[in-house]
Amino acid sequence: MMRDHLTEIIVFTFLFLLVSAMGFVAARWRAPRDMAHLDEWGLGGRNFGGWITWFLVGGDLYTAYTFVAVPALVFGAGAMGFFAVPYTIVIYPLVFLVLCRLWSVSHRHGYVTPADFVRNRFDSPILALLVAITGILATMPYIALQLVGIEAVLKTMGVTGESTIARHLPIIIAFAILAAYTYQSGLRAPALIAFVKDSLIYIVILVAVIYLPYKLGGWGDIFNAADAKFKASPAPGDGILLNANNQLQYITLAFGSALALFLYPHSITGVLASRNRDVIKRNMSALPAYSLLLGLIALLGYMAIAAGVKPLPGATQGSVDGNTVVPLLFDQQFPDWFAGVAYAAIGIGALVPAAIMSIAAANLFTRNIYREYLKRDATPAQEANVSKITSLVVKVGAVACIVFLDPQFSIDLQLIGGVIILQTLPAVALGLYTRWFHRTALIAGWAAGMAMGMWMLYQVANPTTGKKHFAGSAFPLSEFGFDTKKTIYVGIVAVLVNLAVAALLTLVLRAAKVADGVDHTTPDDYFADEGDPRVVPGAERDADSAREPVA
Amino acid sequence: MAAPEPEAPTSARSRAKDHSPWNWLLFIPIVVPLIPAFFNADSPRLFGFPRFYWLQLAWIILGVATTTLVYQMTKKRGDR
C-alpha cells in the first residue's frame, strides 16, 4: 500500500521537516530581550504587524480540519456544508467592532486571556475561572480535530498499520516535534510556519479550482453531478440548495459559529498578539480573502462527487470516513508529487492552529488557575515556564484522544465545544460593552446556558448513522412542541437562555442591592492604542494584572 | 487590588473614535449573508455556478468593501 504512494510520502515528509526546522529557528525570530515572560512566549511580544497577524489569525481560523471536513460535509449533505462561507463573512465585522475593544483593554492592563479581562471587569474570580475552564475544555477537542485532519491524509497515503500503536505512530511523531518547537519558540513558531502553510494552500487550491473543473467538464457539470447524486439519495436534508426545513439551521449555525469562533481562546490570542488597533482593523478587511479560499475548498466536495470518489472505510465496520474525500480526490486527479504538496499543506495546516490552541489553553491555565489559585506571587519567568509545560500536557491529551478514542468522538466533542464556548459570550463579548450584568447573574446564566445546551445536544439523534445522542447540532423545533420539521442550531438557543437568565437575575439582584464588586477598568481603557502613556510598563505588567494603572 | 477608580482622564473624549456612525455600516455584511431568500435558488447560473454559490461568494466582496470603507473612514487621523 505505502509503496504506491512513495513520492507523496517523500514530498510530504520533506516539507513537514522543513517547517519543523523553521519552528525551532522561530525562537530567534524578531528576537525578544527575554523569552522567560508570558508576553513573549505566549503572545509573541505583543508586537506582530499586519502581515504576521494576517497569517497568524488566518492560520488560526482556517484549520486542517476545515480543509478536510467542510468539503466532506458538502460531499455528503450538499448546500448545508456551505454554511462555512456566510460564517466566515459574518465574523470579521463582528471582530472589527468587538475585539478591538478587548485588545485595548488588554493592552493597557496586560491581560493575556479573556478570563483575565472578566476577572477585573466583574471583580469575580469565580466567573473568570468558569471562563477559563470553558475555554480549555472547548479547545482540547479542537486540537484533537487537527489530528483527525492529518490522519485523513496519512490514511490516504496508505500510512496505516494493524495495531493501535503502529497506526498512530506517525501522528505521535508529528506531535512530538510540534510539542518540542512550541515549547521552545512559543507563539513565534506558528506565526512563522503560517507563511509556509498558507503559501502551500493557496497554490494547491488555485491549481485545484482551475485544473479540476477543466478535467471534470466544467463547473456546470460538477454542480449537475452533485444535484443528480442528492436527488437519488433518500436523505431528506441534502441537495445543492437548502430546503424549507434547514434554512433556519443554516443561518443560526453560520451566525452561532461566527460568535463562537472569536470567543475561542486561540482566536483571541492571535488578536492580542498584534501590535496595535490599526493592525486588527486592517486585517479584518483583508482576512476575508481566506473565505474565498474556503468557499472554493468547500466545492472540492462536489468535484469529488463528479470525479466519482469513494471515501475510505471508517473505524467501525460498514462506516465510511468522509474526511478522506479531499485527499482521495487529489490522489486520483493529480500527479503524485503535487498530491504530496497538497497533503503537506493539510498536514502543516494542522500544526499551526494546534500550536496556537495549545498555547492559548496553556495561558488560560497559567493565568487563571495556576496564578489565581496555586501561586499568587508567581514571577513572570515562573508563569512562562508553567505555560510551556502546560502546552505539552495539552498536546499529550489531544494525542491520547485520537489514539484511545474513536476520532468520531473528538468530532462530537468539538460540536459540544462550540456550544459551550458560546456561553462565555455575555461575560466576555457583552462585558466589553456594558457592565450592566451582575456578576452572580452571569454565573447563573452560564450554568443555565450550559445545561440547556447539553440537554439539547443529548436529544439530537441521527437516524442515518443510528446514533441516538450528540449526533449533530441541528435541534428539531418539534422537541419544543412546535408543529414543524424545522431545526435550529443548539448554540444559539443555549446562549439565548443564558442571556435571559443573566438579565432576569440581574434585575432581581439589583433590586435586592446585592454587592457587585468593583470594575477595575475605566471607559477610557477600551480605546487605548499603541503608545498609550498609561500602559503598565512591561516589567511590572505581569506582577499583578489587577493592578490599577497610575493615572 | 481594590484600589479606587482612577479619574477618567480628560482626553477620553478625544480618543473615543470607536463611536463613529460609520460603524453601523458593518451590520450590512453581518445581516445580508444570513438571509437565505436572497441566495437560495439555482438560477441564474454564473459560469455554471448556481445562484446559491456565486452570490454567497459575492457577499465576501461585500464584506471586504464594507469593512475597508469603515476602516478608512474611522482610522485615526491627525496628530497622534
For residue range A496-539, list pLDDT tens digits in order.
Answer: 999 999 999 999 988 888 888 888 887 777 887 777 766 654 44
For residue range A9-29, list pLDDT tens digits in order.
Answer: 888 888 888 888 888 887 777
% of chain A surpassing 70 pLDDT = 92
For residue B28, tell me if it sits in a domain.
yes
pLDDT of residue A442: 92
The CB-based long-range contact list for B49-55 (8 Å cut-off, 24+ gap) reads B49/A219, B49/A223, B50/A223, B50/A240, B50/A241, B52/A79, B52/A82, B52/A240, B52/A241, B52/A242, B53/A82, B53/A223, B53/A295, B53/A299
Least confident piece of the model among A58-67, A245-254, A487-496: A58-67
Query: How far apart are the C-alpha atoms of A225 and A203, rounded to whole Å?
Result: 26
For residue B65, tell me if it sits in a domain.
yes
Residue A28 to residues A23, A41, A68, A247: CA-CA distances in angstroms?
Answer: 10, 12, 33, 50
For residue B4, tell me if it sits in a domain.
no
Most confident of A137-141, A409-413, A477-481, B5-9: A137-141
Size of interface A-B (CB pairs under 8 A): 145
Q: Which residue of B has its CA nearest to A518?
A: B2
pLDDT of residue A365: 92
The alpha-helical segments, DSSP class H, found in A186-320 are 188-216, 219-232, 247-261, 265-272, 277-286, 289-306
**R_g over Cα of chain A:** 23
pLDDT of residue A496: 94
For residue B73, tell me if it sits in a domain.
yes
pLDDT of residue A534: 67
Question: Would you report the helix, strand and coil content of chain A in percent, each value rounded to 5?
Answer: 75, 5, 25
For residue range A173-222, list pLDDT tens digits in order.
Answer: 888 888 888 888 888 888 888 888 888 888 888 888 888 888 888 888 88
Contact A519 B60 (CB under 8 A): no
Average pLDDT for residues A446-451, to the nearest whole number? 92
pLDDT of residue A444: 93
Average pLDDT for residues A47-59, to the nearest whole number? 81
Query: How far apart are the C-alpha atoms of A188 and A193, rounded to whole Å?
Result: 9
CA quadruple A90, A92, A96, A99: dihedral sign: positive
Q: What is the mean pLDDT of chain B?
A: 74
Q: What is the mean pLDDT of chain A?
A: 83
pLDDT of residue A548: 38
The answer, yes or no, to whether residue A314 has pLDDT greater than 60, is: yes
Q: Which residue of A has its CA nearest to B27?
A: A93
Q: How confident is the model at residue A95 (pLDDT cuts 50, 70, 90)?
A: confident
* Chain A partners within 8 Å of B15 (Cβ): 524, 527-529
Cα–chain center distance at A140: 10
What lies within 8 Å, CB to CB, of A400 at 6+ separation is none
Which residue from A92, A222, A523 is facing B8, i.e. has the nearest CB? A523
Q: How confident is the model at residue A164 (pLDDT cuts 50, 70, 90)?
A: low
Q: Is B71 helix (H, G, I), strand (E, B) or coil?
A: helix
The answer, yes or no, to whether residue A488 has pLDDT greater than 90, is: no
Average pLDDT for residues A479-508, to the nearest whole number? 88
- In the chain, the amino acid numbered A32 is P
pLDDT of residue A424: 92
Shortest distance, CA A108 to any CA of chain B (angstroms): 14
The answer, yes or no, to whether residue A32 has pLDDT greater than 70, is: no
* Chain A partners within 8 Å of B17 (Cβ): 527
Q: How confident is the model at residue B3 (pLDDT cuts 50, 70, 90)?
A: very low
Q: Which residue is associated with the grid cell 494542522?
A: A350
Q: Total structural domains in chain B?
A: 1
pLDDT of residue A478: 81
Average pLDDT for residues A482-489, to the nearest whole number? 83
Contact A551 B2 (CB under 8 A): no
Q: Which residue is associated with the grid cell 488557575?
A: A369
pLDDT of residue B31: 87
Least confident piece of the model among A53-67, A157-171, A379-393, B23-37: A157-171
The answer, yes or no, to whether residue A223 has pLDDT greater than 60, is: yes
For residue B12, tell me if it sits in a domain.
no
For residue B38, tell me if it sits in a domain.
yes
pLDDT of residue A131: 93
Average pLDDT for residues B21-41, to the nearest whole number? 84
Which residue from B1, B12, B71 is facing A546, i.e. has the nearest CB? B1
Q: Which residue of A has its CA nearest to B65?
A: A285
The answer, yes or no, to whether residue A241 has pLDDT greater than 50, is: yes
Average pLDDT for residues A130-141, to the nearest whole number? 90
Asked whether the beta carbons of A481 and A403 are under 8 A apart, the reply is no
Residue A76 to residues A73, A80, A329: CA-CA distances in angstroms?
Answer: 5, 9, 14
Residue A280's CB is within 10 A of a number of other CB atoms, namely: 24
Q: Which of A80, A87, A88, A90 to mutate to test the interface with B (most CBs of B within 10 A)?
A: A90
Query: How far apart are the C-alpha atoms of A206 and A72, rounded to whole Å?
Result: 19
Average pLDDT for residues B27-49, to the nearest whole number? 84
pLDDT of residue A508: 92
For residue B10, tell me if it sits in a domain.
no
pLDDT of residue A451: 92
Average pLDDT for residues B25-52, to the nearest whole number? 85
Query: How far apart are the C-alpha atoms of B73 and A261, rounded to whole Å?
Result: 27
Interface membership of B44 toward A (CB under 8 Å):
no
Query: How far apart are the C-alpha atoms of A499 and A493, rounded to whole Å?
Result: 10
Residue A271 in grid coordinates: 488578536
Average pLDDT for residues A405-423, to the nearest whole number? 81
pLDDT of residue A514: 82
The answer, yes or no, to whether residue A34 has pLDDT greater than 60, is: yes
The answer, yes or no, to whether residue A103 has pLDDT greater than 50, is: yes
Q: How confident is the model at residue A474 (pLDDT cuts 50, 70, 90)?
A: confident
pLDDT of residue A500: 94
User: E strand or H helix at A489, and its extent?
Assistant: strand A487-489
Say what the ipTM of the complex is.
0.79
Residue A197's CB is within 10 A of a number of other CB atoms, namely: 27
Higher pLDDT, A132 or A513: A132
Q: Which domain holds residue B69?
A: 21-78
Interface membership of B79 toward A (CB under 8 Å):
no
Contact A90 B64 (CB under 8 A): no
Query: How far apart are the C-alpha atoms of B35 and A92, rounded to whole Å?
Result: 17
For residue B15, tell me if it sits in a domain.
no
Q: Which residue of B has its CA nearest to A222?
A: B48
